[in-house]
């Protein structure tokens, strides 16, 4: 019997306690494979009971090319290749409602952030926040963080990673607080795991990253 548990760092306290009991006394001929994107967030008591293996990722350029060859748009391939490291997975993910909804919110957010603060807040409150449950919010915030990383790269005259989205994000590179906003996006992303109301977190974020706007 083989168990595969993805993103073990996101497990609830109850689930972690059950997992620890399993790892302490695993049944005969039973194996568990745990995955994580951040080993620092995994309890040391879990790590100490496991054999750790770090997997090498496929080159992102190759994943994008293969995905495009399979029929995925370059825009989708560039985004999803940050979350899925193989062309078949990128193709599969591009068809999911969760991805499509998160992408729609992401594109609306980029449009909103190019406007005045009052317009941006209105678009977030009416067009983005109502559609974001916790799962979609994770995806949305990950996309938004990628955009802000590219904004910082553009400001430093470096090559952006989301080349298909440059026209959408370039107008925002004049902001003076890109680094602080990126950190705030990452903080809000982490706070999603603390059972804090999703709508309140996103409202806080939009108020923070538009703080230098004119109302």
pLDDT at 124: 92
pLDDT at 215: 47
Domain hosting residue 37, numbered range:
2-47
Strand partners, 5: 34
Task: Tell me how many domains the chain contains.
Answer: 3
**What are 74-98's pLDDT values in tens digits?**
999 999 998 888 899 899 999 999 9
Q: Does one domain contain both 6 and 67?
A: no
Quote the tokens at residue 9: 């760092």
Q: Does one domain contain both 11 and 68?
A: no
Q: Is the torsion defined by CA of 72, 74, 75, 79 positive or negative? A: positive
pLDDT at 42: 83
**What are 46-59's pLDDT values in tens digits?**
888 888 888 788 89
- How far is residue 9's CA from residue 43's CA, in Å, rounded to a whole number? 8
Residue 52 lies in a domain: no
Quote the tokens at residue 154: 């553009």
pLDDT at 54: 82
Q: For residues 172-187, give the mean pLDDT.
A: 89
Q: Are 85 and 57 in contact (CB under 8 A)?
A: yes
Q: Does one domain contain both 20 and 116?
A: no
Nearest to 50 by CA among 10, 5, 84, 11: 5
Angstrom distances, CA of residue 209 to CA of 60, 79, 151, 163, 181: 29, 22, 13, 23, 5
Q: Does one domain contain both 161 and 176?
A: yes
Residue 7 lies in a domain: yes
Report the largest interatomic distance among the alpha carbons of the chain, rounded to a whole angstrom. 65
Residue 214 lies in a domain: no
pLDDT at 195 over 80: no
Confidence of residue 106 (pLDDT cuts 50, 70, 90): very high
Q: Does one domain contain both 148 and 105?
A: yes
Other beta carbons within 10 Å of 25: 6
Q: Does one domain contain both 118 and 200?
A: yes
**What are 19-75's pLDDT values in tens digits?**
888 888 888 888 889 988 777 778 888 888 888 888 788 899 999 999 999 999 999
Placement of tokens 């406007």 in the chain: 115
């Amino acid at each position: 019997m083989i168990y595969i548990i993805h993103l073990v760092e996101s497990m609830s306290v109850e689930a972690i306690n059950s997992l620890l009991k399993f790892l302490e006394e695993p049944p005969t001929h039973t194996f568990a494979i745990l995955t994580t994107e951040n080993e620092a967030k995994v309890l040391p008591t879990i790590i100490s009971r496991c054999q750790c293996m770090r997997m090498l990722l496929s080159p992102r350029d190759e994943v994008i090319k293969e995905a495009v060859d399979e029929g995925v748009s370059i825009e989708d391939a560039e985004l999803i290749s940050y979350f899925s490291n193989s062309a078949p997975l990128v193709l599969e993910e591009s068809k999911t409602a969760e991805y499509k909804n998160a992408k729609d919110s992401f594109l609306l957010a980029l449009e909103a952030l190019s406007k005045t603060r009052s317009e941006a807040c209105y678009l977030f409150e009416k067009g983005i926040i109502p559609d974001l449950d916790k799962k979609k919010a994770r995806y949305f915030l990950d996309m938004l963080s990628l955009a802000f990383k590219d904004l910082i790269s553009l400001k430093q005259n470096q090559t952006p990673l989301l080349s298909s989205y440059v026209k959408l994000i370039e107008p925002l590179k004049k902001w003076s607080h890109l680094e602080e906003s990126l950190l705030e996006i990452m903080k809000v992303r982490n706070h999603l795991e603390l059972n804090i109301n999703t709508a309140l977190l996103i409202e806080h974020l939009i108020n923070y990253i538009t703080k230098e706007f004119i109302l």
